[in-house]
Structure 1
Amino acid sequence: MKESSASANTRRPEGAPSFLLTLAPLAAALAWPAMVSAQALPDMNAPGPPEDAALSAESSNPVVRSIDIKFRGQATVDRERILSNMRLKVGEPYTKEKEEDDLRALYNTGDLLDVQITAAPVSGGVKITVVAEARAGLGEIEFTGNTVFNSERLQLEISLKTGQSIDDTKLAKAKQDILDVYKSKGYPDVTVDYAVTRGSTPGFSRAVFTINEGGRGIIRDVIFEGGTSFSHGKLAGEIKSDNRNWLKFWDLKRRVDRTKIEADMKSIEQFYQNAGYLDARVLGVEPRRVDEDKVDLVFRINEGPVYTVSGVGVVGNRLYQTDQLIPVFQLEAGQRFSLADMKIDLETIALWGAAWILGRYGDTLLQRYKLESLPESPSALIDEIGRRRGALRAGGVIDRHKASEALIRDFRSGTLGRITLQAPPSKR
C-alpha cells in the first residue's frame, strides 16, 4: 500500500537527524550571547550587595548627639585618651557593634579596671555615657634597703615613672631592671620585692621596692667541674672572668659580671670544639659563696666524646681536582677534628672562588655588593663583603669566616647570577 502524500511530506529525509544534530551546537552558540546579555542586565528590583545593605542599615540608626565620660573614683586617665580609643563619634550613627568594639578597645589600653557604655535616647539621636574606673595612678616610687646605689640612680635605671597607670607588668619590669643593675656590678645574690600602698595624694598609689643586696660577688677562685681533659690553667686562660692584673692590687677584687660569664661559656665551648670535643657544653655557671664578700665561680662542663677525622673529601668541585685541594686543607684524616681548622678550609675555598669571580664577573660583584670599584685581590674582596654585610667582630675587625660564608651562599643560591665554572682561574 502506498503511503499518502501527507505521510510522504512528513517523513524525514535520510540524513535529516544528523543534519539537525550538526546544527544544534550552532544554535546553542548563537543563543549563548543572548543568554549572557540577559544575565548581564541587572534586576532593578533585586536587593543590593551586603555592603550597601549595611550602609543602609547604619544610616537608619540613631545619631550620637553627645558622649559623656564619668569616673568612679579618681580620674587618673585623660578624657581625650578615652575618646581617641572609641569608634563611637559625635555626629555619626550609633551601632551595637561599635559599642562592643569600644568596650574591648578601652579594656585593652590597660588604663581601666572597669568600663561600661550606655546609650540613652534623646531628641534627634542618642546620648552615650561612659562610666570608667581607672587604675590608680602612680604618684610616688620608693626604694628601701639600697646602699650601693642611691634612689636617684635606681630611678634612672627603671622604665616605671610617676604619672603612669600602675599594673603588675610594669612593676615586674622595674623589678627586673633593678636586679640587672645589681648583678652587673657583682651582686649575684640580690633580691627585690615590691608592694603597692596608698599614696599621699588621693587617687594615687605608692610603689615600694624592697632590696636585699646580699654579699658582694668578688671572685676568689674559678672552678671547672667536669673539665678533666685539660688543666685548670689551660681553661682559665680562655675566660675573662679571671683576668686579674697582678701589678694592680685593687684588681684582685674581681666582681661577678654576667656579661663576661656568658662570653666565657661560649669561649670554653669553642675551645673544646677546636680540640675535637664537638658535643662539649657548659651546662651552667654558679657563683658559690665563700663568705660575705667572696664567691667561687663554678663552671659545670660536659665534655662529651672526642672526634677524629676519618677522611676528607670534596664534591661539586669543577675548577680544581680533588688531589689538588686536599693537600692545602687544614683538616687531615686521622687527626682530631677542629672547628677552627674547618673554618680555615672554608675560607680557603671562598678565596679560590673569589679569585675566579673577580677575574671574570667584576660587573656582577659591583652590582651585588654595591661596590664603587673592584678590590685588588680576592682577600680584599672577602674583607669588603664582610664590611658590607656587617660581619664584624668586636673592635670592627672583619669576621672573615662569616664573610666567606656569605660569598659561598650567594654563589650557591644563584644570587650572584649565572656564573659558570669551566676552567681554572688565571693567575693574577
Structure 2
Amino acid sequence: MRALGFAIGVSCVACGAASEGAQGPATETNSSAAVGAKAPADEVVCNASLRARGSNVRRVIIRGTTSREVCASIRTMAGRPEGDAPIEADVRALFGTGRFDDVAVNEEEAVVDPPSGADGAREKAVDIVFVVKERARISKVDVTGVNDPAVLKRIEELPEPAVWLDPSWIHIRASWLTFALEEEGFRHAKVSFDVTPPKNGTSAVHFAVTEGPRVTVGALKFPGLKVAKEEMFRERLALAPGQIAPRDAIEHDAFVVSAALYDVGLIDCRVRPDVTESADKKTVDVVFNVEEGPVYKLGSISITGEGKLADGAYASILKELKKGAPFSRIKLLQAQDAIRALHEKKGVPRAIEPETNVDPKTRTIDLKLWLVAP
C-alpha cells in the first residue's frame, strides 16, 4: 500500500475551521483484496473494472462510510491509468460535502482473480481507496437565554441546521446570533456554544446567549453642516433618540443626509457615520460627520432631440431650473417628469435622458436634456 499524500482534515469542533493540505501518510490498512470479494461493512466500491491490469485502476473505494451517495463526488474511474486519476479534486469534493472530518487516499495493491498469468500466478492491479472519517449527524439545535421577541422571531426564521456536524456551520450560526442581537440593540450580548459527545453517530448543538442591557440612541449629531440645515432631512431619518440603532438604519440615514446635501448643490459632500457609546454603555450617540464641499450651481440649460417643441412650450417648466441657482437633483427629476407629461399631452411621447457637464473650476453644471423617441 502507498499513501498518495492527499488529505484534508478538521482536528476539533471547537476550533471551527478546517485545516487544508497534506496531512502526511494515512493509517495503513489491510489492502489486498480480489475484485468481486465482498466489501467490508464500512466501505463502498464506487466503480470497478474486471480487465484492469498493472498500473491501471482496478477499483475505486471509499472506506469509512456505508453510503453510496458519496460516490457521486468521485471522478476517478476504474480501468484508467492510476496517474490519470483526478485524486486531489476528488479529495476536495468529498470534503466539500460537509460529511467528513478527514479524507486521505491510499493506493493499494489489488489481486486479479482468477489467475491469468502464463505460470498460473495472480496478476496485480491498483485500487484507489479514499479513507474517510465521517462526522456525527446533528440531532438537535437549541438556543437558550434569548428573551427579546424580535430576536426570537429572527431565530424562528433561520433555515434548517446542517445535517452533519460541520465546525464552520457552528461558528457561522454563532456569528449570526451575535449579529441578530446587535441589530436589536444588544450590543454587548455574548454567544457561546457546546456540542455533546457523539452518541450513536449523532450530536446535539447548544447555543447559550447572554443578552445584556439593550442599548438605545442617546443623540443624533451632524457636525460639519454649514450650508445645509438639519431640518432639511430630519423627518426622513429612521433613527431617533430612545430607539435602537441597527446598522441598516445608520446606513439609510447617512444616505438621507447625503441626498439632502446633494439637492442644495453640495455634490462633492461626504457623510461618515460614527457610533459613540456612553460611559454606562446604555446609550450611543450616532454622529454623522459631514464634509459639505463647495456649492455647485446651474450653468447652461438646453433641451434637444427629435420631436422638440417650441422653446416657449418649456418655459414654465424650466423656470425652476434657473441659471446660477444651486444644482438640485430633485428639481431636475421634477422637470424631466413635467417635460415627459407635456409630450404625452401633445401626442409626441418622449423619454428624457439628461446629460451633465460638471466644471470643477467654475463649480457649475451644464444640463442638456435629450428627447428620445420610445
Aligned length: 291
336, 341, 347: which is aligned to 2:331? 341
> 2: CA distance between counterparts of 1:110 and 1:117?
21
Number of the residue aligned with 2:79: 93
CA distance in 2 between counterparts of 1:105 and 1:137 reads 19
- Between the aligned partners of 1:198 and 1:87, the Cα distance in structure 2 is 35
Instruction: Please give the per-residue CA displacement for 1:385-411, whole angstroms capped at 9, x wherever unaligned.
Output: xxxxxxxxxxxxxxxxxxxxxxx89x4
The equivalent residue for 1:106 is 94
Compute the TM-score of the two structures, normalised by the length of structure 1: 0.55
C-alpha change, 1:337 and 1:327, in structure 2 (3 Å) is same
Cα distance between partner residues in 2 of 1:164 and 1:107: 12
**1:106/1:115 contact within 8 Å kept:** no
Report the counterpart of residue 374 of structure 1 in structure 2: none
* Counterpart pick for 1:227 among 222, 225, 228: 225
Which structure has more helix as a fraction of its residues? 1
- Structure showing greater Rg: 1
Separation in structure 1 between the aligned mates of residue 338 and residue 105 of structure 2, nearest angstrom: 70
> Which residue of 1 is the match for residue 264 of structure 2?
275
Structure 2 residue aligned with 1:132: 132
CA 1:267–1:135 in 2, change beyond 3 Å: closer, same or farther?
Answer: same
Measured in 1, the distance between the counterparts of 2:139 and 2:156 equals 16
- The offset of 1:166, in angstroms, is 0.8
Tell me the amino acid that sits aligned with residue 98 of structure 1.
A
**Aligned twin of 1:255:** 244
Q: What is aligned with 2:62?
A: 69
- 1:19-418 aligned at under 5 Å gives the runs 61-62=52-53, 67-71=60-64, 79-88=67-76, 93-96=79-82, 97-100=84-87, 101-112=89-100, 113-123=102-112, 127-135=127-135, 137-138=137-138, 141=141, 143=143, 146-148=146-148, 156=156, 158-159=158-159, 161=161, 163-168=163-168, 170-187=169-186, 189-192=187-190, 194=192, 199=197, 201=199, 207=205, 209=207, 211-242=209-240, 253-286=242-275, 288-289=277-278, 291-316=280-305, 318-322=307-311, 324-325=313-314, 327-329=316-318, 330-354=320-344, 411=372
Q: Secondary structure at the match of 2:299?
A: coil
Cα separation, partners in 2 of 1:66 and 1:323, compared to 1, 3 Å: same
Match of 2:4 in 1: none
**1:198-254 deviations in whole A, cap 9, x for unaligned?**
625376666564545343122233222222444544442231322xxxxxxxxx842
Partners of 1:166 and 1:267 in 2: CA distance: 42
Q: Tell me how far 1:335 sits from its aligned partner.
A: 1.2
Deviation at 1:332, TM superposition (A): 0.8
The share of aligned pairs that are identical, in percent, is: 18
1:50 alignment partner in structure 2: none
- Secondary structure of the 2:301 match is coil
| C-alpha distance after superposition, 1:285-342 (max 9, x if no partner) | 4253364533333222222222221332334465224464355222111211111011
Per residue, is there more strand in 1 or in 2?
A: 2
Judged with a 3 Å threshold, the aligned counterparts in structure 2 of structure 1 residues 258 and 349 are, in CA distance, closer, same or farther, namely same
Change over 3 Å in CA distance of 1:152–1:241 after alignment to 2: closer
**Residues 106 and 129 of structure 2 are in contact (CA less than 8 Å); yes or no, is this contact kept in structure 1?**
yes
Any gaps of 5 or more consecutive residues in structure 2?
1-48, 114-124, 352-369
Q: Could you say if the C-alpha distance between residues 104 and 318 of structure 1 is closer, same or farther in structure 2, counting changes exceeding 3 Å?
A: same
State the secondary structure of the residue aligned to 2:265.
coil
State TM-score, norm by structure 2.
Answer: 0.62
